[in-house]
Structure 1
């Protein structure tokens, strides 16, 4: 009985159980992606026009992006408390919308409906923040894969929830709003005592690589399966029995990762003797405090005194040169020849507050490059319908489904590739972001040129690049600015999405599209007479050519900013990952 109790305790405290539970939580967290499915029933039930519905969409985007309060509450409340707040917001927001749509409560004015949509979608930020903060702290040396996988499941949640909803086959579309209100809230409450930091840095095992390989395999299988199901359901009329089978297989795939914590906790004990050596021995904080302060002072002087060519030396030679320079500074300080300055604020790689990060050039380089990349990518996603129609495609559904899959694979693949860069080469992670932004540049060019089949290639490249941003940028922020206030930093970074779409979609794309549509309308007198009451439409590659070229150029600028950040942070990544990389090479 004692052995079983010990194994159950080990299972409950396993960082892999937390990771798997966070994946399930993220599978229900992307409720914002379902707005396109619930907006028609809101429009028809309340008699809204397209402009009023667009205002609800803006409220949804703001609720999904504004997470200042989320970051603050995650620092004050326990993790389970933050999840409970998110579940309550989701239930109240979308639950009230469901009551209004089904005429069970009086109809509210438009501003109140916008507020409810904002509140309901804002609950999603609590699910995202809790999942990322918990798992990044539990897997500090695998931040890229962890962030990529979790954000990938959030991006794929719309397709997952749509398939689960199809199982019920409810004739009333308003029931989808009910599922959006109740489903994520129940999942969040059910997992609120599981998703939490558990000291995962003390649970390093030699089998971790195999566990991540299994997770990646599940991700690829899930993406391929959902893509296949979407194509089948789009081309063939399937029965309820087939839909039930499709959904059952989907749920089984989502359950497969639980095998990892079960095997590690209840399987045969396989503890490697070198595992504990991977962790630094505990030190007496009080005894070492004065020495730490002294080292910090000398390190701040080293930044000013060391020659620039030192950073370009091999790791062993660089350490010797730095140690020699530090010894000279210590001796000079003791003799009074050097007046040692106290540093102001933390250095790169240490724990920053949001206020401290906002005055750093590194943070703004990362944030602006995020606006260039994710903003242009989201603009393509939001305008896929008009893009495909302007190029002569009747059904935009296939492109929407495909870009959601490429977005998922970009998030998972971006985390994996960037982790190879830092773990195997000790090179700054933003170099991977620069590569994906150049890939997005090609995608924008394909979309703008309008060649035959270019929509398929363009959505593939833009989807992969856009998804990679949400794996690489949060991991980079945690490495440069620390884990202590990661929740606040992450939620500030998410503002890049609405900021980018405000510029690219609202100001650039819509203005150019309307101008081209008006030009075509004036040139075609017959069309002008027949469609006088219909909104203007633009046809041909010219509709989005200039917009795509502008976004391609700005992605190149974003890649350039990433390379500037790479040059500024080489020493940080050499210190973080250089030892692990060199030891792996020796083995």
Structure 2
């Protein structure tokens, strides 16, 4: 009974250290300095981190043919190589790396994230057939904790100069996922828990633990010096261990149900039928759409564009957060990265909370509508950045983008399953997220060109609100378009849903 819970805890641990791409703003300025590259070339390195997702479908194919533990170890090995060699370069152990060598290594490291994500998604989806959205939401919320974990670990080292901090981020990005994957590999097995009832006590326990963990992350991000760095890191480590009590909580409920069933005469068939329909699923459960057929469907391309003008745009903003903060005269780059991570944590958890508490409602909001509603606040965040250069606008907008990106990322996993089924989920979802490198290249390079145009003659870097003002206005308008396309997707999917009833 405890095996599937341990698998979910393993997925939570894996996700908590798998957001290594969110560390890029923390060391990007040093890469720019050492490689003597332009802002446009630096942005292409940010694109390279996302470009690994173009080959993310390979991890989905591998997961269908190889044991999950082996898929996990392959992914961690790719990350260790990609980030590890870059660390050796910054540390002066390797002196012959060119810009294109670093570009390739960044692609390799970015691809490693897909392998670990694929294993985590499959564990949550297949081990919890009646609670997929809840299990996926809880586990993926821990990706939002990644930047907080890495920032707290670097803060413990108390590195004073930017180069030392950059090296520490890269070393941790190489080593920590490898250690976690080796530790979690024995737990990454699928378990058949049946479909007789929803697992209430375990998820309530996880909701409480996750909410407290997120609250701790947000509080220590909003007030950076409230606790010593060692206390912050120790607190996060303790909260990561706490989910191990979940099997015990579910076991207690299971015993109570056995006693209750002994005392009452129930109709087992009625109970099973009632619980089996409680997921409130999508029409994707009735069909399984292979990848080649999926990319020929109109709803896929609508979905693709909604994601492109929503979370992908937000990720481009977060990738450029270091340069954005510097151009506005803000020195709190690490605190901004930590803040975006903490709010992303809650954003990823929010859809699961809503799904859990409103699962019996007769008027459930479609995932397409939820994606559109969650994209809308990002429009306001970008417009706020365009009209105000105050620090409060930067912090508020970063928090809004973090929570919205996290929520849409969580919702999208259920959307892919509902639209195209579960059998080919690993490949289908990785094809969808290939829009991330495309958006990173298009939106990021456009922002870099405007940044370059805003420089004053003789200055190496652009300083002032003009550097990103036009960019923010355009990004805000694209978010509006994304929200409208989500409504179109809702109408189209509702028609398909009605036709299949």
User: What's the TM-score, normalizing by structure 1?
Assistant: 0.73
Q: Does structure 1 conserve the Cα–Cα contact (< 8 Å) formed by 2:127 and 2:192?
A: yes
- 1:59 counterpart = 2:45: no
Equivalent positions of 1:374-413 (< 5 A) are 374-388=311-325, 393-413=330-350
Alignment partner, residue 437 of structure 1? 375
Q: Does structure 1 conserve the Cα–Cα contact (< 8 Å) formed by 2:26 and 2:333?
A: no
Alignment partner, residue 228 of structure 1? 219
Higher mean alpha-carbon deviation, 131-140 vs 57-66, is at 57-66
Higher relative contact order (CA 8 A, sep 6+): 2
- 1:562 counterpart = 2:493: no
1:498 and 1:546 map into 2 onto residues whose CA distance is 22
| Deviation readout 1:120-143 (Å, 9 max, x if unpaired) | 332221111100112112223333
Higher mean alpha-carbon deviation, 269-278 vs 137-146, is at 269-278
Equivalent positions of 1:332-347 (< 5 A) are none
Q: Does structure 1 conserve the Cα–Cα contact (< 8 Å) formed by 2:196 and 2:271?
A: no
- Tell me by how many angstroms 1:157 deviates: 0.8
Q: Does structure 1 conserve the Cα–Cα contact (< 8 Å) formed by 2:83 and 2:171?
A: yes
Aligned match for 2:171, one of 168, 178, 187: 178
Secondary structure at the counterpart of residue 199 of structure 1? coil
Q: Does structure 2 conserve the Cα–Cα contact (< 8 Å) formed by 1:513 and 1:538?
A: no
- 1:195 counterpart = 2:188: yes
Equivalent positions of 1:273-352 (< 5 A) are 273=261, 277-279=270-272, 349-352=286-289
Pick closer, same or farther for the CA change 1:277–1:106 going to 2, 3 Å.
Answer: farther
Unaligned stretches of 5+ residues in structure 1: 1-9, 282-345, 522-527, 579-587
- Tell me by how many angstroms 1:559 deviates: 1.9
- 1:493 counterpart = 2:432: yes
Alignment partner, residue 251 of structure 1? 237
Higher mean alpha-carbon deviation, 125-134 vs 264-273, is at 264-273
- 1:457 counterpart = 2:396: yes
| Deviation readout 1:108-160 (Å, 9 max, x if unpaired) | 34333332332233222111110011211222333333333222211321211
- 1:357 counterpart = 2:343: no
Q: Does structure 2 conserve the Cα–Cα contact (< 8 Å) formed by 1:148 and 1:411?
A: yes
- 1:219 counterpart = 2:210: yes
- Tell me by how many angstroms 1:487 deviates: 0.5
2:468 and 2:157 map into 1 onto residues whose CA distance is 39
- 1:126 counterpart = 2:50: no
Pick closer, same or farther for the CA change 1:248–1:106 going to 2, 3 Å.
Answer: same
- 1:539 counterpart = 2:449: no
1:125 and 1:195 map into 2 onto residues whose CA distance is 16
Pick closer, same or farther for the CA change 1:550–1:351 going to 2, 3 Å.
Answer: same
Alignment partner, residue 204 of structure 1? 197
Higher mean alpha-carbon deviation, 447-456 vs 418-427, is at 418-427
| Deviation readout 1:285-323 (Å, 9 max, x if unpaired) | xxxxxxxxxxxxxxxxxxxxxxxxxxxxxxxxxxxxxxx
Aligned match for 1:33, one of 2, 22, 36: 22
Higher mean alpha-carbon deviation, 114-123 vs 72-81, is at 114-123
Higher mean alpha-carbon deviation, 349-358 vs 188-197, is at 188-197
Pick closer, same or farther for the CA change 1:484–1:231 going to 2, 3 Å.
Answer: same
Pick closer, same or farther for the CA change 1:81–1:432 going to 2, 3 Å.
Answer: same
- 1:85 counterpart = 2:74: yes
Q: Does structure 1 conserve the Cα–Cα contact (< 8 Å) formed by 2:140 and 2:410?
A: yes
* Backbone CA RMSD of aligned residues: 3.3
2:471 and 2:364 map into 1 onto residues whose CA distance is 37
2:461 and 2:231 map into 1 onto residues whose CA distance is 44
Of structures 1 and 2, the larger Rg is shown by 1
Secondary structure at the counterpart of residue 71 of structure 1? helix
User: What's the TM-score, normalizing by structure 2?
Assistant: 0.84
Alignment partner, residue 279 of structure 2? none
- Tell me by how many angstroms 1:270 deviates: 2.6
1:381 and 1:349 map into 2 onto residues whose CA distance is 38
Pick closer, same or farther for the CA change 1:514–1:43 going to 2, 3 Å.
Answer: closer
Unaligned stretches of 5+ residues in structure 2: 275-282
- Tell me by how many angstroms 1:357 deviates: 0.8
1:108 and 1:117 map into 2 onto residues whose CA distance is 13
- Tell me by how many angstroms 1:36 deviates: 3.2
Secondary structure at the counterpart of residue 255 of structure 2? coil
